[in-house]
Amino acid sequence: MLPARSILKGKNGIFATLLAIQLVIKLHDKYFVPYISEAQLQQATQNIAQQIAGDFKDETPMFVVVLNGAFIFASDLIKQYPGNCEVSFVKLSSYYGLSSTGIVKTLLDVSDQVEGKSVIVVEDIVDTGNTLEELISMFSNLNIKQLKIAAMFYKSEAYDGDYNIDYVGMEIPDKFIVGYGLDYNELGRNLPEVYKIKEGEMRNLVLFGPPGAGKGTQAEFLKEKYNLIHISTGVVFRYNIKNETGLGKLARTYIDAGDLVPDEVTIDMLKDEVLKHPDANGFIFDGFPRTEAQAAALDELLDQLGETVNGCIALEVDTEVLVQRLLERGKTSGRSDDQDEDKIRNRFIEYNEKTAVLKDYYTGQGKFFAVDGVGEISEITKRLSKVIDTL
What is the closest distance, in whole angstroms, from the C-beta atom of residue 63 to ligand AMP in the complex?
Answer: 55
205 and 391 in contact (C-beta within 8 Å)?
yes
What is the closest distance, in whole angstroms, from the C-beta atom of residue 189 to ligand AMP in the complex?
Answer: 39
* From candidates 188, 337, 368, 380, binder to ligand AMP by CB under 6 A: 337
What is the closest distance, in whole angstroms, from the C-beta atom of residue 4 to ligand AMP in the complex?
Answer: 22
Select from 1-9, 16-24, 126-134, 256-264 the region that touches ligand AMP (CB under 6 A). Answer: 256-264
Determine the Cα–Cα distance for residues 369 and 193; give it in Å rounded to an integer.
41
Coil, helix or strand at residue 257: helix
Select from 122-130, 170-178, 188-196, 229-237 the region that touches ligand AMP (CB under 6 A). Answer: 229-237
The residue among 281, 280, 254, 284 whose CA lies nearest residue 266 is 254
Q: Answer yes or no whether residue 234 interacts with ligand AMP by CB under 6 A.
A: yes
Starting at the edge strand that comes first in sequence, how are the strands of the sheet with 167-171 ordered?
Answer: 99-108, 86-96, 62-67, 118-126, 146-154, 167-171
Q: Answer yes or no whether residue 362 interacts with ligand AMP by CB under 6 A.
A: no
Q: Answer yes or no whether residue 184 interacts with ligand AMP by CB under 6 A.
A: no
* From candidates 72, 261, 314, 344, binder to ligand AMP by CB under 6 A: 261
- Known catalytic residue: 5? no
Determine the Cα–Cα distance for residues 165 and 163; give it in Å rounded to an integer.
6
Output the DSSP codes for 81-115. Answer: --S--EEEEEEEEEEETTEEEEEEEEEE--GGG-T
> Going residue by residue from 341 to 360, which x/- string records binding to ligand AMP, judged by CB under 6 A?
------x-------------
- CB of 5 or CB of 252, closer to ligand AMP: 252
* From candidates 237, 283, 348, 368, binder to ligand AMP by CB under 6 A: 237
310 and 391 in contact (C-beta within 8 Å)?
yes
Length of the chain counted residue by residue: 391
What is the closest distance, in whole angstroms, from the C-beta atom of residue 234 to ligand AMP in the complex?
Answer: 2
- CB of 14 or CB of 327, closer to ligand AMP: 327
- Considering only the C-alpha atoms of the chain, give the largest distance between any 2 of them, rounded to a whole number of Å: 90
> Going residue by residue from 264 to 303, which x/- string records binding to ligand AMP, judged by CB under 6 A?
--x--------------------xx-x---x---------
Looking at 198, 290, 343, 354, which residue is catalytic? 290
Looking at 91, 148, 325, 335, which residue is catalytic? 335
Q: Answer yes or no whether residue 230 interacts with ligand AMP by CB under 6 A.
A: no
- Known catalytic residue: 345? no
* Surface-to-core class of residue 296, CB atoms within 10 Å of its CB (0-12 exposed, 13-18 middle, 19+ buried): middle
- Known catalytic residue: 347? yes
The residue among 312, 240, 292, 293 whose CA lies nearest residue 269 is 240
Looking at 215, 223, 238, 354, which residue is catalytic? 215
* Backbone conformation region of residue 322, classed left if phi is above 0, alpha if psi is from -120 to 50, else beta: alpha
Residue, CB closest to ligand AMP: 234
Determine the Cα–Cα distance for residues 54 and 312; give it in Å rounded to an integer.
61
- Known catalytic residue: 290? yes
Determine the Cα–Cα distance for residues 26 and 30; give it in Å rounded to an integer.
6
At 71, the amino acid letter reads F
- CB of 71 or CB of 254, closer to ligand AMP: 254
Q: Judging by DSSP bridges, how do beta strands 194-197 and 177-178 pair with one another?
A: antiparallel
- Known catalytic residue: 335? yes
The residues annotated as belonging to the active site are 215, 290, 329, 335, 347
By CB under 6 A, name the binding residues for ligand AMP: 211, 233-234, 237, 254-255, 258-261, 266, 287-288, 290, 294, 337, 347
